[in-house]
Amino acid sequence: MGKRALFIEYLNTRKIHTRLLFAGNVTKQPYMRHYDYRISGTLTNTDTVMNDSLWVGIHPSLSGAMLDYMSEAISLFCKTH
């Protein structure tokens, strides 16, 4: 299991919701096969964003305690992985 998948599983078990980020190397998205486009460079960073990024669920109604819980859980994962 990759590190992002492990992180998502870790957060899900703690009821912290995530979504994958739609960004990065859009040239690898299926809809792009119908378009002509030019690539400049290696797109290494766009691949990193596509493969390693995610959104953590946030909303204005989250309390300070909820945000602290999320922050502590994320910090603990970073320290132990």
At residue 57 the predicted structure's pLDDT band, cuts being 50, 70 and 90, is: confident
Query: pLDDT value at position 1?
Result: 80
Q: Is 78 left (phi over 0), alpha (psi -120 to 50) or beta?
A: alpha
Q: For residue 9, what pLDDT is reported?
A: 97
Burial of 69 from C-beta contacts in 10 A (0-12 / 13-18 / 19+): middle
pTM of this structure: 0.79
Q: What gap in Å lies between CA 11 and CA 77, rounded to an integer?
A: 9
Q: Where are the beta strands (DSSP E) in the chain?
A: 18-20, 54-56
Instruction: State yes or no: pLDDT of 24 exceeds 90.
Output: no
Which whole number is the average pLDDT over 2-29?
92
Query: Residue 55: which pLDDT band, with cuts at 50, 70 and 90?
Result: very high
CA distance 57 to 76: 18
